Amino acid sequence: MEPTIVTWLLIAFGVLTHGILTYIYSVFARDPHSKASKDLMIGEGKDWRDETHFDLNLGFAWTDFLFFVPLFVLSSIGMVLGKPWGYVLFGAAGACSLYINIILLWVEKKHVYAALGPLRYYTYFWGFFVYWGALALVYSMLRVSGLDF
């Protein structure tokens, strides 16, 4: 299961999409109550809507570090090495990305969409995570099923 150009493109899209978020989460996880954390997480000069909003984001930050980032890194390494388990783990990472962002559509859309508008919301702030997740999941299933493209 040698990696193809599609494999490399999906890894790059994942690194770009999740890499920026991982940086933001690293600042936030280090000092969640700092001004820099708040500015990166919710926007410069903005404040948390309530304690649940803060706790939800802190939970996302730690879940990414403990679960998603290792899963994404291991899966990418496995795919580059041409191992079937890499594709299976990549599909799992894609499913995780889809799962959480479908939840966020209902939890955050009212606030984030209104603040950013459709272009920014349906690209980086929400859309890219869904697009990458769906593509990673489908691609992994097709590769594990024996399709080579």
DSSP of 30-55: H-TTSHHHHHHHH-TT---SSHHHHH
Cβ atoms of 61 and 44 closer than 8 Å: no
Determine the Cα–Cα distance for residues 139 and 143; give it in Å rounded to an integer.
6
Q: Which of 17, 16, 2 is nearest to 126 (CA)?
A: 17
Structure confidence at residue 143 (pLDDT): 97
Instruction: Report the pLDDT value the prediction gives residue 111, as an integer from 0 to 100.
Output: 84
> Is residue 68 a contact partner of residue 52, using CB atoms and an 8 Å limit?
no
pLDDT score for 80:
98
pLDDT averaged per 10 residues, the chain (length 149) = 96 96 93 90 84 92 95 98 98 97 89 86 92 98 91
Tokens of 88: 């299976």
Which pLDDT value is given to residue 114? 83
User: CA–CA separation, 28 vs 53, rounded Å?
Assistant: 14
